[in-house]
Amino acid sequence: MGSAPSPARAGRYLQPLHKNAPYLSIHAINIFVRDQDRSLRFYVDQLGFDLAFDAAIQSGDRWVAVSPPDGSTVLALVAPKPDTKEFGLIGRSTHIVFVTEDVIGKYNEWRQRGVRFQHTPRLKRVKYERPLASPSAQLNDAQPPVWGGVFTRFKDVDGNSFSLVGFDEVSREVEAQRRAIAEKLETEHRAAQELEIAKQVQARLFPQTLPSLKTLDYAGVCVQARQVGGDYYDFLDLGRDRVGLVIGDIAGKGIAAALLMANLQANLRSQCAIALDHPERFLKSVNQLFFENTIDSAYATLFFAEYDDRTQRLRYANCGHLCALLLRGDNSLERLDSTCTVLGIFKEWDCSMGTCQLHSGDTLALYTDGITESLNGDGEEFGEHNLIAALRRHREASPQALVASIVDEVQRFGPHEQHDDVTAIVAKCRGN
C-alpha cells in the first residue's frame, strides 16, 4: 500500500454505500509510538488533525486517537511495551496513504510546521489494468493506460512513514464531493431557515387572545411533533357573548399538513360571521372552501362548539373528530360523538348539530389523536382511559394547568420521540 493505488481502486472509496447495504466502516488504524503525548502534539499541532479520543480503557491503558479534519479515519496512537513485538514496529512504513487535492500546498504547509519529508513532491506514473467489460476487450489494448499523480512521503516523530498523494482522478472526485457536500449543507441550512420561519408564522395562526367570558374558563395547547404540523385549535369571537371552540386535525404531517391547516384556519375565520345565527351554513361554507382549495386526498376532522355565555348552552358539530369528553360536576362522563363526516372529501356535505347544557363544575375536553395514540416503550397507547383519568385527577386545576398536566402525562407515558402533534382544549364552567 506504500505505492500509489490504481484509480480504479481509489475510486471505490469515493462511492456512496448502497442504501440497502449493511453499514460498514473502518473503526481505527493502529500507529505504534513511543510517547503518546509527544505523538499527539505532532498530529494535532503539525498535521492539523483533530483529537478523536483520549480515555482510559478497562485494562488501565490509555486510548488516544486522532483523525484528519474530514473525520474519515481514526488513527489510534498505541504505545506498546518495550518487550512486545509491536514495539519493534515503531519507525516503519505504515502503508497508510493520505490523499489531498493539493499535494504541493499540503507539503509546504506541513514543512513549515517541521514535518520531515523524504523527498519533494514529484510526478509518479503508474500503469494499471482498466476494468474491462469483456475478456476480448483486453486483447485489443496494445498498451495498458498510464495514469499519473503527485507523490511524496513523510515521517512522524517516531519515524513512522506515510504517503501523501494527489491523484488527478481522485482530486477531481474529492473536489466534486466537496462541492456536493457544500451544496448539501447550504440546502439543508436554507431549508432549516425556511422551516423556522414557517414555524414562527404558524405559531401566529393559533389564538393570541381569548375572548372574555363570565361563566367559562378555557385554554388550549399544541405541542408539535415537527417544526410545523397539521393540528389546529382556535377560539372564535362570535359576538353577543358567544365563543367558538375549535379543534382540528389535518390528514398528514409536516409542511403539507401545515399548509392545509393554514387554509382551514383562514376559511374558519373568514366565514365565522355567519356562525352565530347559522352554524350549519357556516360549516357547510367552510367545507366547500376547503374542498375547492385543496387536492382530492386532503381532508380534516373538526370539532366546532359554540358556547353561549348567558345561557351556558353548548351547540356543537363533530365532523369525524374524536368524541369530546364532558366530565360533569358529579364525576359522571358524557361523550360528544360525531354528528357529521370529515371536511374536504365531499362537495355535497350536510351538517347536523348537537346541544348540551353546561353547569358549574363541568369540564369539557377536546383533543387530537396525538394524545390518545401516544405510545410507550411496550407499544401501548395512552388511550382515552388515561386521558379521562388525568381529567379527573386534575379537575380542580385551572384550564391552563390542566392542559399542561395532560401534556406532561402524555410525554412521561411515551418519553421517546414524539410522532404526532399533541393538541387539547379544556374548558371549565364556573356558572353565573
How high is the pLDDT of residue 99? Answer: 85
52 and 158 share one domain: yes
Could you give the count of Cα atoms lying within 13 Å of 163 in the half-sphere of its Cβ?
19
> Domain boundary residue among 193, 213, 236?
193
How high is the pLDDT of residue 313? Answer: 94
Is position 107 within any domain?
Answer: yes
- What are the tens digits of pLDDT across the range 154-193? 999 999 999 998 866 656 666 777 788 888 888 888 877 7
280 and 400 share one domain: yes
CB-count exposure of residue 66 (10 Å: 0-12, 13-18, 19+): buried
147 and 227 share one domain: no
62-67/75-78 β-pairing: antiparallel
- Total domain count, the chain: 2
Query: CATH code at 324?
Result: 3.60.40.10
Is position 2 within any domain?
Answer: no
Query: CATH code at 180?
Result: 3.10.180.10
Cα distances from 69 to residues 48, 52, 118, 176, 197, in angstroms, run 7, 10, 23, 17, 33
229 and 179 share one domain: no
Range of the domain at 93: 7-132+142-193
- What are the tens digits of pLDDT across the range 371-385? 998 888 888 899 999
Is position 198 within any domain?
Answer: no
Residues in the chain where the model's pLDDT stays below 50 = 1-17, 128-147
Is position 310 within any domain?
Answer: yes
Is position 199 within any domain?
Answer: no
20 and 66 share one domain: yes
CA 384 to chain centre: 28
Q: Which segments of 122-215 are extended strands (E)?
A: 122-127, 146-155, 161-167
155 and 275 share one domain: no
161 and 228 share one domain: no
45 and 83 share one domain: yes
How high is the pLDDT of residue 387? Answer: 95
Is position 255 within any domain?
Answer: yes
How high is the pLDDT of residue 21? Answer: 61
CA distance 148 to 151: 9
Q: Which segments of 293-398 are extended strands (E)?
A: 300-308, 313-319, 324-327, 333-336, 354-357, 363-367
Pick from 5, 14, 4, 18: which is nearest to 176 by CA?
14
CA distance 344 to 87: 75
216 and 354 share one domain: yes
167 and 316 share one domain: no
Identify whether the C-beta of residue 95 lies closer than 8 Å to the C-beta of residue 1. Answer: yes
- What are the tens digits of pLDDT across the range 320-341? 999 999 999 999 999 999 999 9
385 and 246 share one domain: yes
Pick from 89, 126, 86: which is nearest to 3 by CA?
126
DSSP code per residue over 24-66: -----EEEE-S-HHHHHHIIIIIS-PEEEEEEE-TTS-EEEEE
Is position 200 within any domain?
Answer: no
Number of Cβ within a 10 Å radius of residue 291? 18
Is position 1 within any domain?
Answer: no
168 and 263 share one domain: no
